[in-house]
Structure 1
Amino acid sequence: MDFRDDAQLDSSQVQDAGRGGGGFRGGPIAIGGGITGLIALVVALVLGNLGGGGGQEAPGLQPTSNLADRCKTGADAEQDPKCEVVGVVNSIQAYWGETLQGYEQADTVLFEGGVQTGCGDATSAVGPFYCPNDRQIYLDLSFFEQLQSQFGAKGGPFAQAYVIAHEYGHHVQNLSGQLQGGSSVGTELQADCYGGVWTKQAVKTGFYEKEFTPTQIAEAMDAAAAVGDDRIQQRTQGRVDPESFTHGSSKQRVAAFQTGYDSGDPNACDPGKLQ
């Protein structure tokens, strides 16, 4: 990911809850509680097809520990998957802190298998999501393996960064009053667009050595395409029903990310124009 080796990481922005984090009781997540994320609403409808999300720690991850002890610099982010998340989160929040007046930081919670949230109990099968009730992003790192094995994405470090940036896009929407009242598809595409905006501006946050390469950008767009409603429906149901789309088609999601990246301007992310 080309982090600056001397970049100072703030591990307090990421919580490592471990397996069954937060007193998880094994119940279903309360969709009505406002959960929103990269694929959460779609996957919640087809859990029987996707399975339970594994509950296994992704390859290369170390056991749960105090992130403050292991995630101190950009050099750590290059070597440790959880520290990489810290670096990405730090950069995203540095950007929005400078860009959005009154921005309030949101923690990312890493968990394995299941977690208790302000929006209800969730399993890994729901995918990464933002809960507006407690203003936190939830992420089981095993999802990135599923993104390749179950959704057909090519994967790569920047695919992960795109996922995290999308979820923080929802936090920005929540803070700015955009999360409620808009269409589901428009909301998700705007979050994709916000992810593209951060991608364009990330090097200015001081956490990266240089701008992202075309290959890295392609990883993000491939991940966006992989979680389009049409791709997920075809894979899980064998047919595509545009009337039931909640997150946008693969083409729409890639285009929304590209709009944000090309402009580098959050004002370009008008949900009405992205649909």
Structure 2
Amino acid sequence: MSFNDDVRLDPSQVQDRRGMGRGAKVGGGIGGGLILLIAALLGFNPQLLEGLAGAGPETQSQGTAPACTTGADADARLDCRITGTVNSLNVFWPAYLRDYGVQYPQPKTVIFSGGTGTGCGAATSEVGPFYCPADTTAYFDPGFFQELVDRFGSSGGPLAQEYVVAHEFGHHIQSVLGTIDRAQQDPQGPESGAVRTELQADCYAGLWVRYASTTPDPATGQPFLEPLTQQDLNDALSAASSVGDDRIQKAATGRISPEAWTHGSSAQRQKWFAQGYKTGDINQCDTFAVATP
């Protein structure tokens, strides 16, 4: 989805840590289980990789995403598109959750390159975007979005990228609502808590898309994003499909092993994104209530 040119972005909502060093691997996020998943399929103990994570974030200088002030900037630059999407999500979710008597603590967002320290340990770009509940922060390396196209065959359209940001904010909503820990209680398999957690975040991303073109910039009253097109939806569904466990497994090992799934199949991810978008109802995103997600 394209941004309306005159909306005002708030770059202070995004910290820019690009070029500030590398860290060890930490799992989680939209494609964040990829390294651990491949290790598990090859018979390696994923806990050895998880053990590389440190106890807390590194001390780093931080700045805001530069030159991101208008919707036109968001259309022209990926880092500004991330910033604009964050701004839209941070306006949409408080108002939406207020109707359910739920307060929305605004998460932090970090753009980084190579690696960065987090409250969940040190992380590198290889794990993809992820949300860390320990420091309530969503982390994005802009280079991932090209990887999504080159390695996984996703569309490179704007809503494919905005979907990724909205998915990670979906994990923040789960943290707020107290469901995110269910992923660790049942970490693998096609009907596992981990898969249901990821699919619910996809549904929450679709829910945001439903209202994105009517969520206004508080400064101007103008919607952040232009009306949705069919191509926009195709772009988002392409991104959801590209990070399905079955597709990643097939590319990495040549075979599909549902017992090792942590994020859900391509079809599941598309299904639950569409569920959120079509219904616009958070109650219809309860992936834990259905027998087969």
TM-score by length of 1: 0.86
What is the aligned partner in structure 1 of residue 68 from structure 2?
A: 71
Alignment of 1:101-180 (within 5 A): 101-180=102-181
2: CA distance between counterparts of 1:269 and 1:220? 17
Are 1:238 and 2:248 matched, yes or no?
no
* Offset at residue 66 of structure 1 (A): 5.4
2: CA distance between counterparts of 1:209 and 1:136? 23
What is the aligned partner in structure 2 of residue 85 from structure 1?
A: 82
1: CA distance between counterparts of 2:225 and 2:235? 19
1: CA distance between counterparts of 2:85 and 2:149? 20
The aligned amino acid for 2:33 is L
The alpha-carbon distance between structure 1 residues 68 and 155, as it changes in their structure 2 partners (threshold 3 A), is closer
2: CA distance between counterparts of 1:88 and 1:28? 26
1: CA distance between counterparts of 2:267 and 2:65? 40
The alpha-carbon distance between structure 1 residues 229 and 118, as it changes in their structure 2 partners (threshold 3 A), is same
Are 1:37 and 2:29 matched, yes or no?
yes
Instruction: Give yes or no for contact 1:96–1:103 (8 Å, CA) kept in 2.
Output: yes
Secondary structure class of the residue paired with 1:271: coil
The aligned amino acid for 2:252 is T
Are 1:252 and 2:253 matched, yes or no?
no
Instruction: Give yes or no for contact 2:24–2:115 (8 Å, CA) kept in 1.
Output: no
Secondary structure class of the residue paired with 2:6: coil
- Within the candidate set 207, 211, 215, 1:197 is matched to 207
2: CA distance between counterparts of 1:47 and 1:145? 23
2: CA distance between counterparts of 1:268 and 1:148? 30
The aligned amino acid for 1:75 is A
The alpha-carbon distance between structure 1 residues 208 and 186, as it changes in their structure 2 partners (threshold 3 A), is same
Of 1-10 and 96-105, more deviation after overlay is shown by 1-10
TM-score by length of 2: 0.81
Instruction: Give yes or no for contact 2:30–2:128 (8 Å, CA) kept in 1.
Output: yes
Aligned length: 253
1: CA distance between counterparts of 2:114 and 2:212? 31
Structure 1, unpaired ranges of 5+: 50-64
1: CA distance between counterparts of 2:94 and 2:33? 28
Structure 2, unpaired ranges of 5+: 42-61, 184-192, 217-222
The aligned amino acid for 1:112 is S
* Offset at residue 5 of structure 1 (A): 2.1
Are 1:96 and 2:93 matched, yes or no?
yes
2: CA distance between counterparts of 1:110 and 1:146? 16
Secondary structure class of the residue paired with 1:112: coil
List per-residue Cα deviations over 1:52-103 (Å, max 9, x = no partner).
xxxxxxxxxxxxx954651222122222221111111111111101112210
1: CA distance between counterparts of 2:73 and 2:25? 35
Instruction: Give yes or no for contact 1:67–1:83 (8 Å, CA) kept in 2.
Output: no
The alpha-carbon distance between structure 1 residues 217 and 118, as it changes in their structure 2 partners (threshold 3 A), is same
* Offset at residue 254 of structure 1 (A): 0.3
Instruction: Give yes or no for contact 1:43–1:127 (8 Å, CA) kept in 2.
Output: no
Are 1:215 and 2:231 matched, yes or no?
yes
List per-residue Cα deviations over 1:179-211 (Å, max 9, x = no partner).
012500000000000000000011121243532
CA RMSD of aligned residues (A): 2.1
Instruction: Give yes or no for contact 1:200–1:211 (8 Å, CA) kept in 2.
Output: no
1: CA distance between counterparts of 2:264 and 2:65? 38
Secondary structure class of the residue paired with 2:213: helix
* Offset at residue 265 of structure 1 (A): 1.3
1: CA distance between counterparts of 2:110 and 2:181? 23
